[in-house]
Structure 1
Amino acid sequence: MIGVVVAGLLAGYGVAVPVGPVGTYLVALTARTSLRVGAFAALGVASADGVYAAVAAGAGSVLAPLLVPVVEPLRWTSVVVLIGLAVRGAVKAVRRYRAARIVTLQQETPVGAWTAYLGMLGMTMLNPWTVIYFAALVLGGSGVAGTGERVVFVLAAFVASASWQLLLAGGGALLGRVLTGRLGRLLTALASTALIVVLAVRLVA
């Protein structure tokens, strides 16, 4: 059973650690809102990874081939959503700077905690490569056989993903506290927008 826990943790970190556009957006969201909102958003990402891990552990061999034809449309959808969110954040940052409003991060929260959770859950679910990744691990001999071992594998993968996403959210919260000046927050928002767009475009490049 220890081997299954280790396999699940490695699988979770393997899919979560590479910081792509979703991770970048998570950091930027936390920086301009609050740690609470960022934590909920982080758990949304981890929940999606957990769902895909469960699907892969339960029926990965059947579903993975079926997902291949829709990978490209889902990838483009993910790109459009990410770019839209990035541009929206940049526009709000510019308007806030021009209005010269100085408010605290808590007062400026653009979304609620549960909205952030559901938004990041949906955004991460647009990535079908996650279930293919987990399916490949399960089918490749990760030692996951019985129902109990599958449950442990999924929980371990979720814990690994959640711990990493919460670390990113914590980094975003620290960034937000450091860059509390009006100009600093504007520059941070624009920089994160540019980075998110670049990373999103690389998904289909």
Structure 2
Amino acid sequence: MTAALLAGLLAGYGIAVPVGAVGTYLVTLTARTSLRTGSCAALGVATADGLYALLAALGGSALAGLLRPALGPLRWASALVLAALAVGGAVAALRQYRGHRPATRAAPPAPSPARAYLALLGITLLNPTTLIYFAALVVGSRAAHAVPPVEQAVFVLAAFAASASWQLLLAGGGALLGRALTGHRGRLVTALASSCVITALAVRMLVPPG
């Protein structure tokens, strides 16, 4: 049981800690909205990680093999979604900056917590590499015996908890960033920098690994 717990925690942090395009978007989303919205978005990412961990525990090697042929189209879909987010964020920031709109004028509507949760859940699910990652860990840890269902559950819950704790930490950092950059120009620079980073990571996603 302890081994399954530690394996799940390590697996969850292993997939969550490297801050890629989704993590960058999570931080900037929280910075321009609220900690509540960012926390819901963070839980969306963690839910996707938990679902993939569950699928890997139940039948990782078979599912990973089925998804491998779809890696290319899904990678393109994920990159296009991230690129759209980057362009949309930059355009909205430029419009708001050039118009010098006061707070009473209509600003780009912030997503609701539920919408942020579903958006980040969907974006993260577009990356089947997460399933292959968990599947490799699960298959590699199954020597010649089957893992009991209780240990599988512990592994999945630990992976979810690890991912959730890290994503919530990123959301907290985004909330602090939002409080620090209250100036008109500061928010523009942050939005454009975020869009550039997300675009670069989306392009990098299209490059096959290795």
TM-score range, shorter-chain basis?
A: over 0.9
CA distance in 2 between partners of 1:139 and 1:59 (Å): 9
- Give me the whole-angstrom Cα distance separating, in 2, the residues matched to 1:27 and 1:68: 30
**Among 153, 156, 159, the residue aligned to 1:157:** 159
- CA deviation string 1:41-63 (max 9, x = no partner): 00000000000000000011211
1:140, distance to aligned residue in structure 2 (A): 0.2
Give the C-alpha shift of residue 204 in structure 1.
1.0
Quote how far apart the aligned CAs of 1:102 are.
4.0
Q: Give the letter aligned to residue 56 of structure 1.
A: A
Q: Is 94-103 or 43-52 further displaced after alignment?
A: 94-103
- Answer yes or no: is the 8 Å Cα contact 2:92–2:108 preserved in 1: no
Alignment match, 1:171: 173
Residue 196 (structure 2) aligns with: 194
Alignment RMSD = 1.5
Structure 2 gaps of 5+ residues are: none
Aligned to 1:141: 141
Aligned to 2:43: 43
Q: Could you tell me which amino acid in structure 2 is paired with residue 162 of structure 1?
A: A
| Aligned positions of 1:1-205 closer than 5 A | 1-103=1-103, 110-141=110-141, 145-205=147-207
* Alignment partners' CA distance in 1, 2:66 and 2:103: 49
Write out per-residue CA displacement over residues 23-71 of structure 1, whole angstroms, 9 at most, x where no aligned residue: 1111111111111100000000000000000000001121111111000
1:21 Cα deviation (Å)?
Answer: 0.5
Runs of 4+ aligned structure 1 residues displaced above 6 Å come to: none
Amino acid at match of 1:86: A
Alpha-carbon distance in 1 for matches of 2:142, 2:76 = 31
**Are the equivalent residues in 2 in contact too, given 1:33–1:109 (CA < 8 A)?**
no
| In 2, Cα distance between equivalents of 1:68 and 1:62 | 10
Question: 1:19/1:134 Cα in 2 relative to 1: closer, same or farther (>3 Å)?
Answer: same
